[in-house]
Chain A
Amino acid sequence: MSILSEAQAKAILDKVIAFSTADNTSAVLSGGIGGNVRFARNDISTSGIVDDVQLAVEVAYGKRVGTASINQFDDASLERVVRRAEDLAKLAPENPEYMPPVGKQTYTATDTFSEATAALTAEARAKIAEASILPCRERGLIAAGFLEDGHTFFAHANSNGNFGYQRSTIADYTCTVRTEDGRGSGWVASNVKDVAELDAANDIQIAMRKAAASVDAKALEPGKYTVILEPAAASGLISFMMNFFDARSADEGRSFLSKQGGGNKIGEQIMDPRVNIYTDPANPTVPAMPWDGDGLPRERTKIIDAGKVANLQYSRYWASKQGKPETAGWGNTIMEGGTKSTAELIASTERGILVTRTWYIRMVDPQTVLLTGLTRDGTFYIENGQLMYPIKNFRFNESPVIMLNNIDELGRSVRVEDGAMMVPPMKLRDFTFTSLSDAV
């Protein structure tokens, strides 16, 4: 039951729309099967499988809106859920910002599905855990990691004739390797659509090397340093900043993208001219669903163009209020880079610090997007193009906006995090470390 076909999903949604007597009706039917295996101390600790399907119905009389849902799909249940939403809508206060559902849209399917990932079994998950654990047992290292995979479908329809259906898959693998004495720690991550691209046996070697190499870390004085942020380290800061590319908060004067005196910074140079960030649902490395939460079709859109703010996200309400065209919410973020690998960036560095990963990043001041956080699981001093020795972890207080004004060089962009972002490794000047951490 967890994965409905397009025809099955459409049949249910069509009935829901037909039952409604409200001015507007929208419905979403989605579900999936998720599996996972977690390991620690070189043993599997937990492992499981979950399946779930949900139908949510939103109806509106004028600007009065009600939402209800159900997980039974016979005709009587479908009619009941519509009536319940209608009853709620009649009781609700008017929402002046309510927008009626979008009209019929044309979507171009994106390549979000892999048969191999959808077919993953408990035995296959256990083997991936085994490929991580056994080499660590042999080398006297300790592995703790996690594999999570999901196969989901998403279907939506509304009373204006719109309909969409697509399936997607994802597999996310991370592993931390520590030395037995707890003085060294390394980490590796891989996020894929197609589990065939996941190579835990190879990935684990990276985490093992970093764990062994990070023992006996030296303490450097906090201060401003040239750093090479690996993609996973950079993405933590960049993704945080991307949360604030919202037109409304900028126009309201409460964002780093607000302009002094009123308005927003679209068109203004805020970063190094080498910074180009865009979104594209059809990108083959980080494909996104072809529609946003309102059902608008997503398109390739520039966000930062040669360091200038090219576009902000407008909600449908804010676009109508400001007289802007309706554009879909972004489904992924792609930061362009160069051609070099992280290793090649290191080779061209006279003095600097390599950061594997950033951790516990929090906003300190939204006015400047000042963020604090720490380095983790492999921080090394670089001299004359070589990794010289491991160093103790640092706390940083840095703004990604300032950071992207201090670029020395960008490397080759790769898929990171939850599969919705591509970020290059980056060499940056004057990155601000404010204190030392004893944590390994």
Chain B
Amino acid sequence: MDRRDFLALSTFFTGVALTPSIFGKAIAAEQLQDAIDIAVKKRLADAALGAATAAGASYCDVRVGRYLRQFVITRERNVENIVNTESTGTGVRVIADGSWGFAATNEMTEDAVANAARQATAIAKANARIQTAPVQLAPTPGVGEVSWRTPIQKNAMEVPIADKVNLLMSVNDAALGAGASFVNSLLFLVNEQKYFASTDGSYIDQDVHRIWAPLTVTAVDTTTGKFRSREGLSAPMGLGYEYMDGRAEDKFVLSNGLTTYGKSYDMKEDAIAAAQDAQAKLKAPSVKPGKYDLVLDPNHLGLTIHESVGHPLELDRVLGYEANYAGTSFATMDKRDEGFKYGSEIVNLFADKTQVGSLGAVGYDDEGVKCKRWDLVKDGILVDYQTIRDQAHIVGKDESDGCCYADSWSSVQFQRMANVSLAPGKTKMSTADMIAGVDNGIYIAGRGSFSIDQQRYNAQFGGTVFYEIKGGKLGPMIEDVAYQMRTPEFWGSCSAICDESDYRMFGSFFDGKGQPSQVSAVSHGSSTTRFDGINVINTARSLG
């Protein structure tokens, strides 16, 4: 799922509060602060493990999940909706006769989960008939009874709704006061309470928290019929409500006053800037197409990393498991074996499921593998992929990378992207230093339109705000900018990366993949980065 789908979802909640959603049933606020007794979860898990084994499964894992979400949705001076949802149930995955089977139920009784385990085993046996190669799992040690929690400071679910409403109303007032025609602002809070158990002897209890505070400001000029929107410059994060503190030390300010954010977000300040930017966009000159040196802010570059590095280096895509939907990958295994040049020598890209504050951080993945950090591209050379237990052996690994995830108890877990990030530059460099070295360029901040082919070669990206760079100086805002790229050439043109003091995380709340389609949340860190000689097109059109 992407932003478009999310906006559709917001509208959905606004207009049709009663229709059951993909996020489960709506519940009262007070229920968002409790959890299922761990002894109950273990009893359910043991019932499923026992039933699957008795039915002939050679392996079984059970996920007892309680997925909580809260949305506070506003536009202008109205609270359009406050929605609390809960989805609780159990998913059982088995291997029987060498094939996978899966069944899930929302009935939280030992009988119901045991029945799901038997159904999953029957499905596996039905499929085994045409299976050519039995499923092979990389070993992972049973870890006994353990737990993990996102290291949050303030549980957003415990913050009173009135405080959240007051914050968003003050944000909207500020935007309208600064000249916005329209403003939408939201809080989107997630708590995944996940209990995993397997026949390997693991019982893992995890409490995962995420937060997102998107806003959109629109300016309309009815005389010309033109309208322009400016999105907020926040990032969804694996943090608690402390993200909304807007601390001064987490702000990054350009010479023209543009402020971007790191570990916390000043939503009101950004709303005012968004209102001013949206109006400026109505009058900003259209870009002249051609080759430019691009200076990309981390909250923009994260999406480019996501699409052109994160996805093509997912091993299931490389192998063809996603061929019918998300696609395959240009980064085939022979390229890894030959030391394929993915980017310039300063490009180091790594996967990390342990990064504090990231959306993908967990203690263990959804098949009980302990999470870690590893290199994907080292000094510009492709060195590795992201994988899970049933594919590790295909690339000669003797362990999974811990990339297995399911977006619900009712979804089967499969390979999902880890946080994939660009390592900061090793020499001291600020964004101002970088811009000073650019003669003819464009500075881009924030996410915009994005599209990439099914093997992750050809991509086109827009952004939120664009500024001309001339003779080492940041110039006026420009509009209608999109850049087109071919992945290896793009990363090959990477000529400078700011140092660690500029490092920040971009996030995607709704990365879509799989059939049935599932979403996952993932972060991508980087410092501001320069790419030379990139093709920029002009996207302005006329409907006559």
Contact = CB atoms under 8 A, between A and B. Distances in A.
Interface of A: 1, 26-28, 30, 34, 36-38, 40-56, 58, 65, 67-71, 84-85, 87-88, 91-93, 95-97, 122-123, 125-126, 129-130, 133-134, 142, 144-146, 148, 156, 174-176, 178, 182, 185, 187, 243, 252-254, 256, 258-262, 270, 293-294, 315, 329, 359-368, 370, 372-374, 376, 393, 395, 397, 399, 401-402, 405, 434-440
Contact of A48 (B8, B102, B220, B543): B102
Interface string B76-88: 0011111110000
Contacts of A178: 320, 323, 328
17 contacts: A47-B127, A48-B123, A54-B24, A130-B129, A260-B223, A294-B16, A329-B15, A359-B327, A364-B539, A368-B540, A372-B451, A393-B453, A393-B458, A401-B543, A435-B460, A438-B455, A439-B330
B220 A253 contact: yes
Interface in B64-120: 78-84, 89, 99-107, 119-120
A44 B130 contact: yes
Helix, strand, loop or mixed for chain A's interface? Answer: strand
A253 B223 CA distance: 10
Contacts of A372: 449, 451, 460, 482
Contacts, number: 281
Interface string B106-147: 110000000000011011101101111100000000000000
Nearest to A44: B127
Contacts of B126: 47, 122-123, 125-126
Contacts of A54: 20, 24-25
B19 interface: yes
A342 B480 CA distance: 36
B18 interface: yes
Contact of A52 (B19, B89, B165, B327): B89
Nearest to B325: A146
B183 to A, nearest CB: 12
B324 interface: yes
A125 B103 CA distance: 15
A319 B348 CA distance: 55
A153 B311 CA distance: 37
B20 A47 contact: no
A250 B80 CA distance: 19
B324 A50 contact: no
Contacts of B167: none
Interface stretch (B26-34, B36-44, B250-258): B26-34
Interface string B517-544: 0000000000000000000010111111
Contacts of B540: 365, 368
A436 B489 CA distance: 14
Given A40-B323, A146-B324, 18 more contacts: A46-B102, A47-B102, A56-B26, A87-B28, A122-B126, A126-B129, A134-B130, A252-B182, A260-B224, A329-B15, A365-B480, A370-B539, A372-B482, A374-B453, A393-B458, A397-B539, A399-B541, A437-B457
Contacts of B218: 254
Given A176-B324, A395-B451, A270 B543 contact: yes
B197 to A, nearest CB: 18
Contact of A438 (B165, B319, B458): B458
A48 B127 contact: no
Q: Which 9 A-B pairs have the closest CB atoms?
A: A293-B16, A48-B102, A260-B225, A69-B25, A439-B455, A437-B458, A144-B323, A439-B453, A253-B220
Contacts of B161: 91
Contacts of B102: 46-49
A420 to B, nearest CB: 14
A33 to B, nearest CB: 11
A362 B101 contact: no
B387 interface: no
B531 to A, nearest CB: 17
A256 B543 contact: yes
B19 A293 contact: yes
A42 B482 CA distance: 39
- In this complex, the member of B223, B330, B450, B543 whose beta carbon has the largest number of chain A beta carbons within 10 angstroms is B543
Contacts of B104: 48-51
A136 B78 CA distance: 57
A360 B453 contact: yes
A88 B539 CA distance: 46
B452 A360 contact: yes
Contacts of B330: 438-439
Given A58-B18, A144-B320, A261-B223, A253 B181 contact: yes
Contacts of B414: 46
B427 interface: no
B101 A47 contact: yes
Contacts of B131: 43-44
B409 to A, nearest CB: 9
B206 to A, nearest CB: 22
A401 to B, nearest CB: 6
A14 B526 CA distance: 56
Contacts of B454: 359-360, 374, 376, 439
A28 B20 contact: yes
Contacts of A40: 319-324
A401 B541 CA distance: 11
Contact of B453 (A41, A93, A395): A395
A364 B17 contact: no
A182 B320 CA distance: 10
B18 A56 contact: yes
A148 B227 contact: no
Given A368-B542, A372-B451, A68 B26 contact: yes
Given A44-B130, A58-B17, A258 B227 contact: yes
B153 interface: no
Contacts of A146: 324-325, 515
A399 B119 CA distance: 48
B462 interface: yes
Given A69-B26, A97-B80, A133-B130, A362 B450 contact: yes
Contact of A402 (B27, B516, B541): B541
Given A54-B25, A95-B79, A252-B220, A48 B101 contact: yes
B154 interface: no
Contacts of A92: 79, 82
Contact of B226 (A144, A252, A367, A435): A367
A254 B332 CA distance: 44
Contacts of B82: 88, 92
Contacts of B323: 40, 142, 144, 176, 178, 185
Contacts of A156: 18
B484 interface: yes
B508 interface: no
Given A43-B133, A44-B127, A68-B26, A437 B227 contact: no
A396 to B, nearest CB: 10
B4 interface: yes
B214 to A, nearest CB: 16
A254 B227 contact: yes
A395 B484 contact: yes
A321 B329 CA distance: 51
Contacts of A401: 543
Contacts of B229: 254, 366
B279 interface: no
A401 B544 CA distance: 10
A395 B483 CA distance: 12
B452 A52 contact: no
Contacts of A315: 15
B470 interface: no
B4 A362 contact: yes
A38 B515 contact: yes
A425 B451 CA distance: 24
A256 B182 CA distance: 17
A395 B458 contact: yes
Contact of B105 (A51, A144, A437): A51
A365 B25 contact: no
